[in-house]
Every structure is written in structure tokens, then in C-alpha cells.
Structure 1
Amino acid sequence: MEQTVQNLQETYKRILTTFLRKKSEQGLYEAQQFSKVLLEHQVSPEELVSVHREVLEDLFPAISDEVLGSLDLLLEVMMGYGLAYREHQSLRDRQRELESEIEVAANMQQTLLPNDIPSVDSLDIGVVSVPAEKMSGDYYHYIMDDQQCIGVAIADIIGKGVPAALCMSMIKYAMDSVPEQRLQPAALLESLNRVVEQNVNDNMFITMMYGSYDCRSHEFQYSAAGHEPGFYYRAALDQFEELYAKGMALGVSKKPVFREYTRQINQGDMIVFLSDGVTESRIGDHFIEREEITDLIRKYMHLSTQEIVDSVYYDLAKMQDFELKDDFTLMIIRRKV
């Protein structure tokens, strides 16, 4: 190390001497290149000031005490600056590590969401899910069995970042691990509640709405665990109704009771699942009313369900200058005419 410092000192002395004599652009260029060498050898700012002082004393033996005193003061300043700079560098490196971890978790989240929407002759299904930030707390899921029954779920994980992504993966695999119960809404939520209550910290919980659609009888059974109520559109009356289901959020209680509800779905009827990021869209100084959401759905009702959800999302995002305050998930299931 001493040899390295000595070599750096000799190099700096040559660069400084050349510059003071010629004051050329070449001297400035050499100084800039020398700064890269200092970085490679991790020479701190205070060490460079010390080198500069020693070189000046060597070049100008008669240098005044005032100049040397000013360099001593600069040395003290650079010591404080060096400590602050190294702390800043450490924090920046840690920030980069966190961003990398978040990127990995965000990619993992995408693998947990369904790649394709189930293809059912009698149903038209559309979904849009957009995170407010890189990570999302929203989750949706489809399950299809051999009897032409399709299970649909939408969930909101109260929590963000990597913990939410890990929780999301746990929910997905817990749903996939109970095939004999998975299309029974109340039983599924009871099973998931046990998993969440035993494995998730007390400061995190999950809201969910789950429904099972029997494509043979067109009967829709559903239950909810503290989730934002959806909508049911009754085509015969051309009216929206609240798809309400009472139930406690997952992970809050060890033995909650989930009630099942049933709807007979006729041609043209629609089931709307959504997250609170939809109903809590903030327009100016007020939150959007639920009736405004149904008005938007009605506006695009002549389109396919995927076009409906995409159009509703675009309109609400545009009203918020495309700065979502919360994760946005909207799912529509319509029985074809």
C-alpha cells in the first residue's frame, strides 16, 4: 500500500509540475485520467489532499505557513466529506440491491398470474390488472375442472413489496393444493384462511372474493373474505346490482364463517369482480362513486368483455393523469347471448 501511495504521489507530482509550467489542455486531460486511477485504488478525498500538500512542499520549499494551514483545513473538511460520501455510496449500493430484489419479485409475480383466460363457449371473460407501482398487491386466478365448472378469484394482499409477492405465491399454491374443495367457495376460503392465519404475520391479511360458475346450469356460487363488493348486471332489467358477500378477511380469525351466495346467470348477464383500487380511484379531491364505474361499464357494454375492462381502465387512469394511487384489477364474466 505504501508503495502504491508513493507511486501515485510521484505521478501526481509530474502531472502538477507539467500543468503549472505549461497550463495546457493536455495537463487537464492527464488530471482527469488520474482521477480514474484514484478511484481504482480507492484513494479517499482526504488522502489526495494530503498527497497534494506533500507535493507542494516538495516543489516549493518556501511555501508559506498560511497556504499549508489552508491545506490542513481542507484536509479536515475532506475527511468529513469522505465519510459522508462513502456512506452515500453505501446507501446507493443498497438501493440498487433493493431495486434488483424488487425487480425479481415483480417478475415472480407475473409468473403467478394466469397466462391465458379460460376458453368457455358460453362465457366471455375479460380482465385487466395494473400495479400502481412495480409491485402489486392484487391477485386473480382461474381454475377449470373436467365438469365445465370454472372457479374465479380476486384478492387484495394488504401489504406491498417482496412480502406481498411471497404471500401471493403462497395463496396460489394453497389454492392449487385443494382440488377436491377448490370449486366450493366457502370451503376454499376456510382452507385458505388456515394457511394465511398460520403462515402470515399479524400485520398482513388478505381480502378475497371467490366464485364457482357451473357452465351446465349457469349457476354462480360465490363467497367473500372482506373483499370489495363486485357488481351483477341483470340484462333482462338492464340494471346493476351489488354483488355483496359478507365474510371476514383471511388471516384475521382462526375460525371464520364464510357464507355462500347463489345467482342464476341468464343470457347477457355479467359478473363484475374488482379490487378497491378501482372504487378508490381519486378524481381531483374526491373518490369515484360506484355508480360512475357501472356507468363506464355500461358505456362500453357493446364491446367484448376484454375491451370493456381495458376501456374502463384507460378512462379511469386518464382521469388520474395515469398516476394510479392503488393497484387496479377489474374482471368481467358475461354469459353469451
Structure 2
Amino acid sequence: MAWLALRRISREAKRRQEETQRRQTARALLEVSRALNSTLDLEHVLRSIMAELYKLVSYDSAAILLLDRSKLAMVAHRGSDLEEHVPTEFDLEEAQAANQVIQTGKPLVIQDTVSDERWATVPNSQIRAWMGLPLRVRDRTVGVLNINSHTPGCFSVEEIELAEAFADQASVALQNARLHDVEVKQIEQELRIARDIQLSLLPSAAPDVAQLDIAAVTVPARQVSGDYFQYLPMPNGRLGIAVGDVSGKGIPAAILMAVITTALRDELAQNARPADLLNALNQRLLERMKATHVNSALIVGIFDPPTRHLELANGGMLQPYVRNGKEWTYVPVGGYPLGVSHRISYDSKTVTLAPGSMLLIASDGVVEAQNASGEFYSFERLEALLNSLPLEVTAQQVIDAIIAAVRDYVGDEEPADDLTIVAVRSLELG
């Protein structure tokens, strides 16, 4: 009966060992899964895979090699052997074992490299057992996970199966990285197209109006956010100026920008006052904007040369600034952006641009520019800058001063939004 008891004890010990192995395997695979879900840093994920594999499979070194035309490039490794004896890139023809894995798409285990002719011996290598697992992306073998040991015949069937599971995880990481690269390239291409559309819509030069000195600029952020401005020549020498900011990014925002600039000129023929123009545009574009879940801030000013009156209507842009005399003050004209509701009705304000007076229209990219601490440039800083400028300053000098101040404030931070400024100075005739 004693032998039966010993047998039961042996079975129980084996069962516990197998259960421990299963828990360790599950835990290691869970850590790899967490790494896959926490970052798109391929090198970090691959290092994590090899580190977790080491807890389950005894090896002295391991590497992940990716196929690059006729070469294999090492993109991640663990263990000092590889740093000392193996190049980071080598010809596929010279790596017979890895080449077989690439060609067949099947695992290959060499329990004794010395006696196996498929093993291309690396000078001074201590590797005596080698395991190669295919890395597949969309049914195509793109690389090899190789595992090396100084001890011949060391890889068990269980360890080979475990290594295959980790190779599958590495394949998932590669697939994720490649999909991310494709997505990034598509986004970058879309942004280039959108940026080209945006820039093509901007006026190449300011209009020639005897009573006005006009300057304007759009400083693009890395991502297209939809800033635009337009000059609108009108009968009897009047001039319209429009500055807008479309919500959203990419090609949809750029297309809406093109639609709005076209509609602006079309509606201007029927609506000669800024408030009427915004009301007409809102009704015309509302359904389209709602369908695409975007809207557009837009401010329109119309200047009448004989009276020097500037009539302004504003749908969601920053309130404009005017300097009549020595101090800059904002014009209290505002409203909701186009595309929010059909119930919106816009009003207008009229200011007089006497000789020496100035008008400034800016997008929110100016006051919302952030420094490294996340602090906005702010209205207070903009107003302090404006009031520090000399009275004789030109429209272009105002713009240059604002851009320089904002750039100095944000430092090396990447701008999150476009920065658009239109400055108008009223001139003395004669």
C-alpha cells in the first residue's frame, strides 16, 4: 500500500507542477498582452515578449529578426551573446536555419548546432541549441524569433510550444506596428492634401484700397484646423473682409472651408450687410454642417470708403480690436458659429476708421497658444502688447510683433492650432 501512497504523492506533485506552469504561462502571456495594449512602441513590446519568455523557457540569448529584402535585420534582442558575436544585419543566404523558417513558415529546432549542417556557425559562438519560430503578418512570414542556448538538446516539447505562443504575440505586435505606420502615412497624406486646399484658398496679396493699409497671415499648425480669410471686393469701392475657423481637421474641414468661401461670394451679391450675410450663410449651410458634425466661426467686416465706416458681424470668432486714438479696445460684437442652429440671428456693429485708426482680427490660435507649462498666451498679454506698439505702426508690423511675441512665449512647443491675423490701418489721403 505504501507504493500506492507514493504514487498518489507523485501524481499530486506533478499536477501541482503543471498547474504552476500553467499559471506562469498565463501570467507571462497576460504581461505581453498588457504591453501590446499599452503602447505602439514596437521595440518596447518585443523586449517585453522576450523578457516574459525567459521566465518560461531557459535560454541564453534570443533575438527577433525581420526580413528586409534579402537580409535579416535584428530589431530586438536579449542576452550578451548577440551583442558580442552576431551582426545586427546579415544576408539571408548565410543564415541557413533562419532562411528555412522564412521559406517554410514553420518552426525549426536544432538541438545540436555542431552536428547540424543547416546551422551556419558564427565564429566563436557558444550557441549549441537553436530554435527558430516564424513571425507572420497576414499569412506572410516576415521574420524569425530565434532562441539560443549554450546547452545542446535543452529544448523540450513544452518549451517549443510555449515559444510558438510568444512568437504569435510578436507577430501581433508587428501587425499592430505596421497598421499604425500605414495609418500614420494615410493621416499625413490627408493633412498634406488638406493643407494644400487651405493654402490655395488664401489670397496671395492684399487688395489695393487707397484708404487702407492691409496685411494678413495664416501660420499653419502641424495639423490642419481650418483657419481661413478672404477679401471680398464689392460695388462702389466697398471691401469685405472675412476671417473664419472651421471645426474639425483634415480633408473634411478643408472641403467645408472651400464651400464656405464659395458661398460667401455667392451670398454677398444678395446680402450687402454683414449680419444679413451671416444669417444667409447659416441657413444655407446648416444642414450640411449638421450632417458632417462640423461648424465654422466666421467674422465679416465691410468697409465703406466715403464714410470710413466699418460694419462688423461676428459668428463665433474672437471679438475684433480697434484702435481709435492711443488705446486698443475690443468691439462688442459676437454670436454663435455657423451651423449650430437655425434659430440664430446675427447683429452688427459699426465703427469708424478715422485716419490712423487700426482694426485687428485674430483667430483663437493667438490667445490660446500654450507654453511648456500649458499656460495660454491670453487676451491680457495680447492687449498689453498692442498697447505697447507705437502709433505709427503699420499693419504688417502689428502682425510681425504678435507672431514674434507668441513664438517667444510658446518656445519649442508644437502649436496646436493655426494662427490667423488680419490687420487694417486707415490712411490719410492726399
**What TM-score range do you get, normalising by the shorter chain?**
0.7 to 0.9
User: Matched residue of 1:103: which SS?
Assistant: helix
Aligned counterparts of 2:307 and 2:243: Cα–Cα separation in 1: 23
Aligned counterparts of 2:246 and 2:94: Cα–Cα separation in 1: 48
Structure 1 stretches of 5 or more lacking a match?
Answer: 1-10, 13-26
Between 273-282 and 145-154, the greater mean CA deviation after superposition: 273-282
The one-letter code of the counterpart of 1:329 is: T
- Specify the alignment match of 2:323 in structure 1: 233
* Contact 1:45/1:82 (8 A) holds in 2: no
Between 209-218 and 129-138, the greater mean CA deviation after superposition: 129-138
Residue 94 of structure 1 and its aligned partner are, at CA, apart by: 2.1
- Match for residue 197 of structure 1 among 283, 286, 291: 286
Alignment of 1:43-62 (within 5 A): 50-51=107-108, 53=110, 59=117
Aligned counterparts of 1:136 and 1:37: Cα–Cα separation in 2: 50
Aligned counterparts of 1:158 and 1:182: Cα–Cα separation in 2: 25
TM-score by length of 1: 0.78
- Specify the alignment match of 1:155 in structure 2: 244
* Contact 1:128/1:330 (8 A) holds in 2: yes
* Contact 1:128/1:313 (8 A) holds in 2: no
Aligned counterparts of 1:37 and 1:98: Cα–Cα separation in 2: 38
* Contact 2:297/2:315 (8 A) holds in 1: yes
User: Matched residue of 1:224: which SS?
Assistant: strand
- Match for residue 189 of structure 2 among 91, 100, 116: 100
Residue 213 of structure 1 and its aligned partner are, at CA, apart by: 0.5
| Aligned residue-pair number | 306
The one-letter code of the counterpart of 1:220 is: L
Aligned sequence identity (%): 23
Residue 148 of structure 1 and its aligned partner are, at CA, apart by: 1.2
* Contact 1:196/1:205 (8 A) holds in 2: no
* Contact 1:49/1:74 (8 A) holds in 2: no
Alignment of 1:56-71 (within 5 A): 59=117, 65-67=153-155, 69=157
* Contact 1:151/1:183 (8 A) holds in 2: no
- Specify the alignment match of 2:404 in structure 1: 314
Residue 285 of structure 1 and its aligned partner are, at CA, apart by: 6.2
1:32 aligns with 2:90: yes
The one-letter code of the counterpart of 1:227 is: M
Quickly say closer, same or farther: Cα 1:96–1:281, change in 2 above 3 A: closer
* Contact 1:270/1:333 (8 A) holds in 2: yes
* Contact 1:102/1:135 (8 A) holds in 2: yes
* Contact 1:232/1:243 (8 A) holds in 2: yes
Alignment of 1:1-337 (within 5 A): 32-34=90-92, 50-51=107-108, 53=110, 59=117, 65-67=153-155, 69=157, 73-181=162-270, 183-201=272-290, 203-235=293-325, 238-282=326-370, 284=373, 286-301=375-390, 302-323=392-413, 324-337=415-428
* Contact 1:131/1:328 (8 A) holds in 2: yes
Residue 241 of structure 1 and its aligned partner are, at CA, apart by: 2.1
CA RMSD of aligned residues (A): 3.4
1:14-44: CA deviation from partner (whole Å, max 9, x where unpaired): xxxxxxxxxxxxx978x72218999xx9x98
Residue 334 of structure 1 and its aligned partner are, at CA, apart by: 0.8
User: Matched residue of 1:294: which SS?
Assistant: helix
The one-letter code of the counterpart of 2:362 is: L
* Contact 1:53/1:71 (8 A) holds in 2: no
* Contact 2:319/2:334 (8 A) holds in 1: no
Quickly say closer, same or farther: Cα 1:86–1:45, change in 2 above 3 A: farther
Aligned counterparts of 1:200 and 1:44: Cα–Cα separation in 2: 55
Aligned counterparts of 1:195 and 1:247: Cα–Cα separation in 2: 17
* Contact 2:198/2:226 (8 A) holds in 1: no
Aligned counterparts of 1:187 and 1:230: Cα–Cα separation in 2: 19
* Contact 1:123/1:334 (8 A) holds in 2: yes
The one-letter code of the counterpart of 2:421 is: L
Between 273-282 and 143-152, the greater mean CA deviation after superposition: 273-282
User: Matched residue of 1:329: which SS?
Assistant: strand
Between 285-294 and 211-220, the greater mean CA deviation after superposition: 285-294
Between 307-316 and 129-138, the greater mean CA deviation after superposition: 129-138
